[in-house]
Every structure is written in C-alpha cells, then in structure tokens.
Structure 1
Amino acid sequence: MKKYYFKEKFFKITDHYPILDDNGRKAFFVDQKFKFLGYEATVSNANNLEIFTINRKLISFLPVYQIDFKDSKKKMTIKSNISVFRKSIDVISEEGKINVKGNLWDYEFKAYFEGELIGEVGKKILYFTDQYQLKVHDENFTEELIALCLSLNNIKDMEEEATMNNN
C-alpha cells in the first residue's frame, strides 16, 4: 500500500502544489487552471511529464468530470449520483467501473473495483488549508485514484461555495 498527501493553498484562484508520497518526496504535481466557469487541472509526474487532465463538464445536473490520460489515450469519467445519506460516485473507464462510497461532509471515501478495495481518501482536519491523504491499495489504479481525489475535492469546494451563497 502506498500513501499520497495533497495540501492545497490557503488562497486559491489557481492552484499549483506537489502531491507527496509516504516518504515526503514530490511524486506528482497539480496545476489548476484559472477559469470563471468549470474546473480544469493537469497532473504531472515528478519529471514534469503530463500524465492526465481533468475537466468538469459545465452542463450537467450533477458534477461530471472527464479525465484524459496522455500516454495511453484512455479516458475516464467521474460522475456524482443522487444519494440520500451518503455520497455515491461512479468512475467509468475502459477497465470497468470503480464504485466510490463515502461521506462528503467528513470527506471519507472508499473505492472498489470488482468488489475489491483499491483505495481510500480521507481529509485531515484542523488545518487552515485542505489536506488529504490517499491510500492506494492497488497500485494499478494510482492515477485513477489521484484523479478521483482531485475531483472529489472540487465537488466539495462547489458544495461549500453553494452553501455560502445561499446564506
């Protein structure tokens, strides 16, 4: 099992930060583009080679993200589902469907592929900035789980912004 740590900036119009591995080394880099509408981010490896991009679709009832992987030309879709008590997210790729169950308010999620736990996402609390830990149980899904973590964070940011605008 590998662990990765995400730490966002406090003030973020755009975001550029490293994703650290369990030894504290920079394993990946996130570059969020400035957009008035939508969300776009690029993830690169430690050698600054682009791995994938994430784009949120603008016209959809619930959040939908398109992930384009650069090396393999494969695509993946992350979409939020209607759920009453717990957050339900589907990750659809060429390999199959990854089911994600969790609680968006506590930011605790588990990802399953064909019934097997492949990863967990958790938010660290009591910090000024958003900080997350990703536990990868199946390293064949590392990039997919990183994209999932970034998309979940954007969903949470959107919901917090909507709550602030309604008050």
Structure 2
Amino acid sequence: MKYLVCDKIFAIGDDYWIEDERGRHAFLVDGKALRLRDTLELKDPSGYVLVTLRQKLLSLRGAMTIERDGETLATIRRKRLSLLRNHFRVALSDGTELDVSGRILDREFAVEYDGELLAHISRRWLTLRDTYGVDVVREDADASLLIAVAVCVIRMAEREREED
C-alpha cells in the first residue's frame, strides 16, 4: 500500500494529512505545540491516536521513541559505527531491529528487517516539492509503525542538519 505524505515541517503545530493511494485521508500527523520535547501523534481519520512519537530528552545521541497505548513500541537512533551518515536503527520492544538507510534528507531510503524490504520511502514518484511517498511493501506490516519510523528519521536528520 502506498501513502502520500505532504510534509509541512514548518507548519504551526506540524499538523498534516497522509493520504492512501486512492487519495483518502489515512492518517493525521498531529504536532503538539508548546511541549518541552518534540511530540507528534499519528491518528486515524476518526481521531484515534495510533502511535505517539517523542524526542528523548536525556539521550547522548539524538533519539526518538514511538509509543502505543502508553508503552514504548520502538526507539530510533542513528546507527553507531556506520560509514554511512544516513543510517538509523529502530529497536522494537520485542527485541527486533529494523534498519533504515539511504538518502534521508532527499527522502530516498528504505526500512528493512533482516535484509527484507518492509517499506520504501521516495520522492521520485511525485512532482510536489514537500511531498514523498511511503510504499509499505509487506501486506502484514504495521503501516502506522513504518510511517512513524519514516517521520521520526526525517525529523532527526533535519534536526541534525540544523545543528551542523
């Protein structure tokens, strides 16, 4: 299933819709303004919170968590000891690790598990400037988790670029 993300990073509150391949609203990214740390909620079209994305406050290296129902589902960090600058590791709560690599700031990267492609993020399919696609390859994959991973990784990379 392909999703279209109209990324409005500089919008007040960071609210934007993610559409499915048929143009229907699939998820709302709801930015929580006036919070001490970067916080976003990924909601379904009816407003139900599927996952919450939070910047970790006390982390030596930048990190974000993805929470579901108050429990940490995943922690995302830049991969240590990588020759590639655009390489992140997603540690799921069950011990599984996902690998995110590619040109993050160009919106051209992949999310893999044990060498198997789970999602491909690309701007190539689209002509709109601040828009990219998330192609969730596996039908049994958690689309909300993979979209949350893409949003977190892009926010972390953007923040690092601003700090440099």
Deviation per CA, 1:20-62, whole angstroms, max 9, x where unpaired? Answer: 0000000111101114653100011122111010001123232
Partner of 1:20: 19
Q: Which runs of 5+ in 1 are unaligned?
A: none
Partner of 2:87: 88
Secondary structure of residue in 1 paired with 2:12: coil
Taking only the aligned residue pairs, the percentage that are identical comes to 28
Matches within 5 A, 1:81-120: 81-82=79-80, 83-93=82-92, 94=94, 96-120=96-120
Q: Which runs of 5+ in 2 are unaligned?
A: none
Matched residue type, 2:2:
K
Matched residue type, 1:81:
K
Matches within 5 A, 1:1-150: 2-9=1-8, 11-35=10-34, 37-70=36-69, 73=71, 75-82=73-80, 83-93=82-92, 94=94, 96-123=96-123, 127=128, 130-139=130-139, 140-150=141-151
Matched residue type, 1:80:
R
In the TM superposition, what is the alpha-carbon distance from 1:102 to its structure 2 partner?
1.0
Matched residue type, 2:96:
G
Secondary structure of residue in 2 paired with 1:153: helix
Deviation per CA, 1:76-104, whole angstroms, max 9, x where unpaired? Answer: 11111233334111111126111111123
Matched residue type, 1:156:
A
Deviation per CA, 1:108-163, whole angstroms, max 9, x where unpaired? Answer: 111111321111112368755x3221000113231221111110221132133224
Secondary structure of residue in 2 paired with 1:14: helix
Deviation per CA, 1:1-21, whole angstroms, max 9, x where unpaired? Answer: x10011133742311111100
Classify 1:150/1:10 alpha carbon distance in 2 versus 1 (closer, same or farther; 3 Å). Answer: closer
TM-score (normalised: structure 1): 0.83
Partner of 1:157: 158
How far, CA to CA, are the matches of 2:61 and 2:83 in structure 1?
Answer: 14
Secondary structure of residue in 1 paired with 2:30: strand
